[in-house]
Chain A
Amino acid sequence: MEKQIRRMEEVVEQSLDRITAHPFFLSTVSHLINVNSYRRIWTRKALEALWKDLELPIKSDQERILLSLQEMQVRIKGLQLELEEKNSEIARLKVVAKHKRSAAARSVPNERMTAVNLDV
C-alpha cells in the first residue's frame, strides 16, 4: 500500500513539474498576474486623479517626499561620519604639530646657551 502511495506521489510530482514548466501554463499564469496588477494600477490611478482634482495630496507623492527625507538623512549622517573622521585627523595633526613645536622650542634655548657659552 505504502509503495503504491509513493508511486502515486511520484507520478503527481512529475506531472506537476511538467505542468509548471509548460509554456502554456506559464503564459496563462503570467497573464493572470499581469491583469491583476493592471487592475490595481488603474484603480489606484483613477482614485489618485480624483483626489488630485480635489487638490488633496496623494499617497505616492507623500511616499516620495518621505523617501527623499530618508535619503537626505542618510547623506547627512554619512557627512557627519566624514566630518568626525576629518576632525580626528585634524586633532591628530595638531598633536603632531604641537610636539614638533615643543621639540623646536626645547632646541632653541640650547642653541642660545651654546652661543652664550661661545661668547664667553
Chain B
Amino acid sequence: MFNLDTLLATAQVRALEHSQKWGWNQEVNSTPYEVIESIGTMRLLRYSEPAPHRQPLLIIPSLINRYYILDLLPEKSFIAHLAQHFTLYVLDWGEARDEEKHLSLESLLELHFAYLYKTLLKDCNRTQAHLLGHCLGGNIATFWSLMHPQDVLSLTLITTPMNLRVNGKLETWAQHKDFDLQALVQAYGHAPWLLLQTAFLGLNPSQIWQKPRRFLEKVKTPQSLRNFMALEIWSADNRSPRGACFHDLINLLYRQNCLLEKGFPFKGKRFFLKDLQCPVAALSSQDDHIVQLDSTLQAEYVPQARAVKLWHSTGGHIGCLLGQKSQSTLWPELVHWLHQQESIHEQSQAVV
C-alpha cells in the first residue's frame, strides 16, 4: 500500500546519507561524550568528567527533535559551553522502538528516568543535580522537580510551555474537540514526526517561501553555508515521540493545563507548579511561534521558589538560545546564576 509517511521517511534517510557522503555533517554534534547508561534506545551521555568543584547538570532535550541542536557546530555549542563549567549529562531520547509505544509518561518517569537520574548521581557521587529542560523536556524536568525536590539543585527551562490556556495556534489545534489524539497514537503507534513537522510548518506557513529566499540572500560565504547546512541536517533528522507518553503529555499539558489547574497526577497524588521550591530560571522569546511568550513561566506561578530568574530574548524557538547575542550574554549569565544557586545552597547547608 502507498504510504506517504514511509516515502518521506525514506527521503529523509537518503538526504542524511547524502549529507554524510558530502561531509556536511562532520562537524554537527561533534563534542565528544561517553555513554554512561542506556535503556532500550534511551541513553545517558556524559560530556565532562566528574570533578569535586563541578556540580552535575542534566539536560533534558525536547521529545520531538534531536538533542544535538544544542551541539550543532563547535563554535555554537551550548553543550560544549556548559561542559566547561559543570559535569554535564545529556539525556538522548533515542529512536523509539515499536514496543515503547505503550510506555506511559508515568512509567517513563517512575522507571526509566528515575533509574537514569540515580545512575547520574552515583556516577558523579552527588546527591543533587541541576536540571535544564528544553521545550517539552522542560516539562519533564518540572514534573521531576515537583516529585523529588530533595534531588534537584535548580531548574532551568528553555522555551518551555507552562500555561496552555493562551490563545496560540498550537494550543487551539491541540485542544480542538474534533481531534482524536488517542486514535492517532493508537493508529500510528508513535506520534508521527511527519504530522508534527507539518503542524510546525503550519504555525508559520510563510517559511515555505521565506527559507529559499533567505538562503539566496544570506548564504554567501562558506561559513554561512556551513551554518545553514548544519541546521538543515538537524531539522531533517526527526524522530517520532513515544506514542503513549506523547499522548499523556499533550493531554495533561495542552488539554488539562495540569501544572496550573488540575495538577500533575502521579501515583495517586497531584503536583502543582505553585508548590515548586527549588530555584527556577526560564528563557522565553517574543518571536517564538511554537511556545508563545505568554505561555512560558511567570514569576507568580512559582511563589514558593527559592529564586526566580526570567530572561526574555529575541529570535525564534531555537534562535533565542543559540543566537549570537545569546551566546555572548545569556550563556555566561546562566552559568553565573547556576553557580550562585550552588553557593547559596552550600551556605544554607553549612548553617543547618
Interface residues of A (CB under 8 A from B): 9, 12-13, 16-17, 20-21, 26-27, 30-31, 33-34, 36-41, 44, 59, 62-64, 66-67, 70-71, 73-75, 77-78, 81, 84-85
Contact = CB atoms under 8 A, between A and B. Distances in A.
B53 to A, nearest CB: 23
B4 to A, nearest CB: 10
A75 B119 CA distance: 13
A40 to B, nearest CB: 4
B183 A37 contact: yes
A21 to B, nearest CB: 6
Given A16-B205, A21-B172, A37-B180, A70 B186 contact: no
Contact of B179 (A16, A17, A34, A64): A34
Q: Identify the 8 closest CB pairs spanning chains A and B, nearest first.
A: A30-B178, A66-B99, A37-B187, A40-B187, A37-B183, A30-B179, A63-B99, A67-B99
Interface of B: 39-40, 97-103, 107, 111-112, 114-115, 118-119, 122, 169, 172-173, 176, 178-180, 183-184, 186-188, 195, 202, 205-206, 209-210
Contacts of B184: 33-34, 37
Tell me the interface secondary structure of chain B in the complex: helix
A21 B169 contact: yes
A16 B169 CA distance: 12
A30 to B, nearest CB: 4
A34 B111 contact: no
A81 B187 contact: no
B186 A41 contact: yes
A36 B112 contact: no
A3 to B, nearest CB: 14
A14 to B, nearest CB: 10
A74 B198 CA distance: 35
Given A16-B205, A74-B111, A75-B111, A40 B188 contact: yes
A37 B188 contact: yes
Contact of A41 (B103, B118, B183): B183
A12 B206 contact: yes
Nearest to B107: A71
A36 B173 CA distance: 17
30 contacts: A9-B210, A17-B169, A17-B205, A20-B169, A21-B169, A26-B176, A27-B176, A30-B178, A31-B178, A37-B180, A37-B183, A37-B186, A37-B187, A37-B188, A38-B183, A39-B187, A40-B188, A41-B187, A62-B99, A63-B102, A64-B99, A67-B102, A71-B107, A73-B39, A74-B111, A75-B111, A77-B115, A78-B114, A81-B122, A84-B122
Contacts of A84: 122
Given A26-B173, A33-B184, A78-B118, A63 B179 contact: no
Contacts of A20: 169, 202, 205
B150 to A, nearest CB: 16
B187 A38 contact: yes
Contacts of B188: 37, 40
A34 B178 contact: yes
Contacts of A39: 187
Nearest to A59: B98
A17 B99 CA distance: 38
Nearest to A81: B118
Nearest to A73: B39
Given A30-B180, A37-B188, A81-B122, 11 more contacts: A9-B210, A13-B205, A16-B205, A33-B184, A37-B184, A38-B183, A38-B187, A63-B101, A66-B98, A74-B39, A78-B114
